[in-house]
């Protein structure tokens, strides 16, 4: 197979190399109960999408370095000045000003707890998480929003104290690089590539 598309930016322009789409031959769909008469065709499609993170890039870069970044509105004219947002919001939803990026790793380590949770036995296409997936909604001291993530070890419970773990080895630069485990979990119990 040819090389998948890769991208970097220079002089404020995308520089691309490799193949961003492949034309794969289609195949007939036939009816086994009616003399294999033609019903249609498959249309294989394989493409590489360029997903720009924009102002959220700092969040994903930090995960690979074991840091959880949040944002805070510091606009003195905003009615909700000082609000801290996790998930990371580039702009304040109240004044629409640009938020300040802050490191909240220590706050997460000291105060993260499960607000509520949901265990999913089935998943959508392209899921790579182990099933059942234990989705947890996490609350933090001093943060006005709640983060959706997933628990890697143990069974979730409301109010349970959890700590963040980060995929620093072989990061994917997606939200899957952040996960959570119960307080007291040992480093050698963590999933491959993850550490505190
Ligand atoms: Zn604001």
Cα of 86 vs centre of ligand 1, distance in Å, is 14
C-alpha of residue 66 to centroid of ligand 1, in Å = 28
Distance between CA atoms of 53 and 163, rounded to whole angstroms? Answer: 25
Phi/psi zone of residue 98: left (φ > 0), alpha (ψ -120 to 50 degrees), beta? beta
Domains located in the chain, CATH noted: 54-195 (2.40.50.140)
pLDDT in tens, 43-100: 998 888 899 999 999 999 999 999 999 999 999 999 999 999 999 999 999 999 999 9
Residue 70 CA, ligand 1 centroid: distance in Å: 14
Residues with CB under 5 A from ligand 1 (ion): 73, 75, 78, 92, 94-95
Cα-to-centroid distance, 76 and ligand 1 (Å): 8
Q: pTM for the whole thing? A: 0.87
Give the other-Cβ count within 10 Å of 141's Cβ. 12
Q: Write the pLDDT tens digit of every residue in 113-129.
A: 999 999 999 998 889 89
Query: What would the pLDDT profile of 11-56 be if each residue is shown by its tens digit?
Result: 999 999 998 888 889 999 999 999 999 999 999 988 888 999 999 9
The string of pLDDT tens digits covering residues 129-183 is 999 999 999 999 999 999 999 999 999 999 999 999 999 999 999 999 999 999 9
For residue 140, report the distance from its CA to the centre of ligand 1, in Å. 19
């Amino acid at each position: 197979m040819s090389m998948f598309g890769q991208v970097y930016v220079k002089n404020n322009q995308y520089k691309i190399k490799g193949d961003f789409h492949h034309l794969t031959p289609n195949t007939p769909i036939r009816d086994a109960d009616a003399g294999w008469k033609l019903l249609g065709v498959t249309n294989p499609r394989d493409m590489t999408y360029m997903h720009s993170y924009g102002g959220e890039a700092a969040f994903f870069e930090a995960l690979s370095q074991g840091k959880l970044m949040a944002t805070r509105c510091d606009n003195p004219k905003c009615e909700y000045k000082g609000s801290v947002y996790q998930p990371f919001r580039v702009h304040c939803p109240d004044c629409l000003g640009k938020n300040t990026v802050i490191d909240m790793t220590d706050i997460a380590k000291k105060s993260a707890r499960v607000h509520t949770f949901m265990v999913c036995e089935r998943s959508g296409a392209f899921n790579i998480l182990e099933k059942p997936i234990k989705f947890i909604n996490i609350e933090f001291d001093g943060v006005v929003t709640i983060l959706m993530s997933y628990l890697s070890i143990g069974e979730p419970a409301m109010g349970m104290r959890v700590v963040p773990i980060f995929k620093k080895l072989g990061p994917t630069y997606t939200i899957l690089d952040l996960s959570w485990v119960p307080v007291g979990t040992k480093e050698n119990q963590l999933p491959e590539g993850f550490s505190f």
